[in-house]
Structure 1
Amino acid sequence: MGGRNTGMTGQPVIVTERLELWHPQRGDIDQTIAIVMQEHTRRFLGANPTVDDNHARFLRQAGSWMIYGYGGLTVRERGKAPVIGSCGIFHSRRGLGDRFDDMPEAGWIIAAEHEGKGYATEAMRAAIDLFARDHGPARIMCIIDADNAASNRLAGKLGFEQREIGTLPDGSSILIYDRMA
């Protein structure tokens, strides 16, 4: 893998036992939006995000690579083309103040039909390792909808510790976590 991964490539950024993690590509937009628009996922992403909101989310995570040298990754099963999710460490101002908004943020989304296979755990461990290798020790934040039990469990499994309960500008109740990479 060697060196900082700051640009788009025609190869996966990370290959794990079962997954490939890619820089976001233009051809991934519709598949990624379809995943986040699934009701099962969408209900945990704030105040009823639209297709346009999720397009902006995709671009923000992709653009994070250019500005910060880290960002969102598109998740595929190894050797397969369909996008099954997204994950990574990215920069995303949430309106939660400087102690959060100026920090790297971790996040993951796996399509409903692929949940329960350990893919989010596998992908995020690889993404955190990549971030730590490229950027050294750093505090990473994570916010999760208070009702998203599976993601709240995964945060603990990944070493995140809950620090506080918060509210997004849209009124969504969230749990705020952090960890060192």
Structure 2
Amino acid sequence: MPNFSTIAAGFASLLGGYLIAVFVVHQAWGDATQPQIATSFNAFALLFVMALAIERIVQPFAPALGPDSATPAAALQAAQAAGNQAQANTERAALSKARNRTAIVTWGLATGLACLLAAGTNITLLHAITDRQGTQVAYWLDLLVTGLVVGAGTKPINDLWTRLQNKPADPA
């Protein structure tokens, strides 16, 4: 279980980005007309692009956003090589804890950045998929939903990117 400071850092990043998006970015560009999504373009493709951009921004800083996971990873490899199952289990737990704490902070940062990007581009998810003639969702709620969806989408994209980078070369 992550400690309170890790959770607080994650939510502080989220809240900071969201508040800046609502009260600074949206105020500066709030009157700008919302871009129209082309009929051949899916709103979810736009969210994917936003999530991918944010993932690429956050990824280089991820090691600095949480506890060091390299030390427990090396200790786990050493314990496995030595055949010490008890030590390997201890190191596996330490590695998992370090990665989970980092994931919480990076999620908060990614979600805060998603709010900033959505406010800056004036593109929000619920506005993009709802009927323009009907009742619209409040902007603050739409921005929060967009930030949460895009911020959460950075984790699967990061996992996919990591797997593609670590894939062994085709011997063909």
TM-score by length of 2: 0.24
Instruction: Report 1 or 2 for greater relative contact order, CA contacts < 8 Å, sequence distance ≥ 6.
Output: 2
- Between Structure 1 and Structure 2, whose CA radius of gyration is higher? 2
Which structure features the higher share of helix residues?
2
Which structure features the higher share of strand residues?
1
